Amino acid sequence: MTVMKNTLIILGSIAILSFTFSFTVRDNRILGRWNKIQKTPDGPLDLVFIFRADSTYDGIVNGKAFINGKYFIKNDTISVSDNSCNIAYYGTYRIKYFAQDSLSFTAISDTCKERYEGAHGLRVKKMQKK
């Protein structure tokens, strides 16, 4: 009986361990849609970024798809490659989650000028599911 009990305890702690393990290693907080509304003299720019579980992402402005690429995340660093520049090249940004539902990007290194201008200092807010 004690053998059985011990086994149960061990199995139980493995379950708890692997649960916390998967939680810390697979950080899924980026998944979903993020939004930023930017005011310009010509009216608002409505930016949406979609990060998918298959490691692809898209950028959308005023409902128009304009950027499409791949990303991966390690700890607080995201690597991104997309069609704004050479798609074989990855730029890196530090990501920081803040204020419950917000996310910011700070450049670590990115020689792609177009992307750097849009992404460095970018702050976006999580969108609620429709």
Partner 1 sequence: MHESEPASAMELGKLLFSDPILSGNRTVSCASCHKENFAFADTLALSPGVNGRLGTRNTPSAMNMRLQESFFWDGRASTLEEQALIPIENPLEMDLPVDSAIARLNSNAFYQQSFLRIFKENPSKKSLAKALSDFERSLETNNSPFDDWRVNDNEDAVSASAKRGFKLFNTKAKCIQCHFGPDFNNVEFRNIGLFDGRMHVDSGRSAITHKKSDLGKFKIGSLRNIAVTAPYMHNGMFKSLKEVIDYYDNPDLIIPKAMNRDTILIRPLQLTDTEKLDLENFLISLTDRRFLK
Q: Of residues 64, 75, 99, 129, which one binds partner 1 by CB under 8 A?
A: 64
CB of 122 closer than 8 Å to CB of 36: yes
Applying CB under 8 A, the site for partner 1 has a residue count of 18
- For partner 1, the binding residue among 48, 80, 119, 122 (CB under 8 A) is 48
Contact 93, 77 (CB under 8 A): yes
Tokens of 53: 């579980």
Distance between terminal CA atoms of the chain? 52
Q: For partner 1, which stretch binds (CB under 8 A), given 12-20, 80-88, 94-102, 104-112? A: 80-88
Residue 124 interacts with partner 1 (CB under 8 A): yes or no: no
- Helix runs in the chain, H state only: 2-25, 113-119
Nearer to partner 1, 30 or 48 (CB): 48
